[in-house]
């Protein structure tokens, strides 16, 4: 007897998803509540679980197919099956597209070892860096290889001793292999990101104002208290909590930056829910730290750390990213010197953080070296005037340069 596996409820107002990856193949043994497939929605990846112990049966949709909530995508058969490789596959539904068989001479190049079980993002990274996935130990769920694993392997490979002069690193070949192109369908998440960012440019009057911040005071405070902070709260003290609290001060003084336009009305908020942009394997996601105006530094740091881990593991939920009244995007962790971030609709403003560089500045008539950071505030000029935007960014700058302001809310 077989049991039907259907697309589960995906979240409020989400009706369809894409089959991102089959985690179990026909004929393989499955356990109750074990992930058998990964679905990609507009915002997050969701695992489909096996309803009971048994054997993976038919796969009624192929990777990349769009499926709707409640649609039948697979069956689970009775039995013990195989533990994995070498299993005799059950017949697949003929509706599933068949992959083209590459020419024998090109097969090794076109499909790296283990490519059939890699997600599209990881497969692209493997091809880009020229890494054999069979040599990579996966750190993702159930030992799956993540994009970070591929990047780490590439760095380790580049750090190995360079070849000697007698052995050229790239020997010239009279007839090298033909150059290749690969077409990979955009993930649903990437498509949604593209649409939302383009929509923001099309529908909002975007403008960016800049300032620079002397990070001396925050760095000194962090160095002084980081050990006792971590000992008391069990979480490291970072810079994001300072900027979140500084943003709260700015948004309270400039409420338009914490509002958004809906039709011919402006919706103001008496709370501050900050969307924090974090990097996930399939793209940038923005989980929401709610009620930042009421949270402590430790609670903000813990929330951001939890979201970062969930993003890396691919376990963020719809609820994690729902709402948000303001966004902070930290490009500095990737080395960005300056940028013009795009607002996260329907929000009206986003704060961009960048890397910290030691630069010469004038203090009390003398040139001194200080750790400086450029900060940027992009905003919807339909709602926020230039004076308000500059004022909000100036409040953030002053609070970071004098953290005492955060305590007395000045």
Question: Contact 52/3 with Cβ under 8 angstroms?
Answer: yes
Place of tokens 């989400």: 14
Largest CA distance in the chain: 84
Read off φ and ψ for residue 71, nearest 5 degrees. Answer: -75, 145
Question: Contact 312/337 with Cβ under 8 angstroms?
Answer: no
List active site positions: 381, 385
Per-residue CA distances from 105 to 108, 132, 178 (Å): 7, 18, 12
The token pair that represents 204 in the structure block: 């909002």
Question: Contact 392/252 with Cβ under 8 angstroms?
Answer: no
Which residues neighbour 319 within 8 Å (Cβ) at sequence distance 6 or greater?
11
Beta-bridge mates of residue 2: 77
Question: Contact 350/341 with Cβ under 8 angstroms?
Answer: yes
Question: Contact 219/234 with Cβ under 8 angstroms?
Answer: no
Rounded CA-CA distance 67/173 in Å is: 47
Per-residue CA distances from 15 to 8, 66, 124 (Å): 10, 10, 28
Q: State the Rg of the chain over Cα.
A: 25
Rounded CA-CA distance 282/409 in Å is: 38
Which residues neighbour 398 within 8 Å (Cβ) at sequence distance 6 or greater?
405
């Amino acid at each position: 007897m077989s049991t039907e596996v259907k697309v589960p409820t995906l979240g409020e107002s989400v009706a369809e998803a894409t089959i991102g990856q089959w985690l179990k193949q026909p004929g393989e043994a499955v356990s109750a509540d074990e992930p058998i497939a990964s679905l990609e929605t507009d915002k997050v990846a969701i695992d489909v679980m096996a309803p009971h112990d048994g054997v993976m049966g038919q796969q009624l949709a192929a990777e990349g197919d769009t499926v709707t909530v409640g649609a039948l995508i697979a069956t689970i058969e009775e039995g013990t099956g195989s533990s994995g490789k070498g299993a005799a596959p059950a017949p697949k539904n003929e509706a599933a597209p068949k992959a083209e068989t590459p020419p024998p001479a090109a097969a090794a190049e076109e499909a790296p070892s283990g490519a059939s079980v890699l997600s599209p993002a990881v497969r692209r990274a493997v091809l880009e860096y020229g890494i054999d996935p069979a040599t990579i130990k996966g750190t993702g769920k159930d030992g799956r290889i993540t994009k970070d694993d591929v990047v780490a392997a590439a760095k380790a490979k580049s750090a190995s001793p360079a070849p000697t002069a007698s052995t050229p690193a790239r020997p010239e070949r009279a007839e090298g292999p033909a150059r290749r192109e690969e077409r990979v369908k955009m993930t649903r998440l990437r498509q949604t990101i593209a649409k939302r960012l383009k929509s923001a440019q099309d529908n909002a009057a975007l403008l960016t104002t800049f300032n620079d911040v002397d990070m001396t005071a925050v760095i000194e405070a962090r160095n002084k208290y980081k050990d006792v902070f971590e000992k008391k709260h069990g979480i490291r003290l970072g810079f994001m909590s300072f900027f979140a609290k500084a943003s709260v001060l700015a948004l309270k003084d400039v409420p338009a930056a914490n509002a958004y336009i809906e039709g011919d009305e402006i919706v103001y908020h008496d709370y501050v829910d900050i969307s924090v942009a974090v990097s996930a394997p399939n793209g940038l996601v923005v989980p929401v730290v709610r009620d930042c105006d009421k949270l402590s530094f430790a609670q903000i740091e813990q929330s951001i750390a939890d979201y970062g881990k969930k993003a890396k593991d691919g376990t963020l939920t719809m609820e994690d990213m729902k709402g948000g009244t303001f966004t902070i995007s930290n490009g500095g962790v990737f080395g960005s010197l300056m940028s013009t971030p795009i607002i996260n609709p329907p929000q009206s403003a986003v704060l961009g953080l960048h890397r910290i560089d030691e630069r010469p500045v004038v203090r009390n008539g003398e040139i001194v070296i200080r750790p400086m950071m450029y900060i940027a505030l992009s905003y919807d000029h339909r709602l926020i005037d230039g004076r308000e935007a500059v004022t909000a960014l100036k409040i953030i700058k002053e609070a970071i340069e004098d953290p005492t302001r955060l305590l007395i809310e000045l």
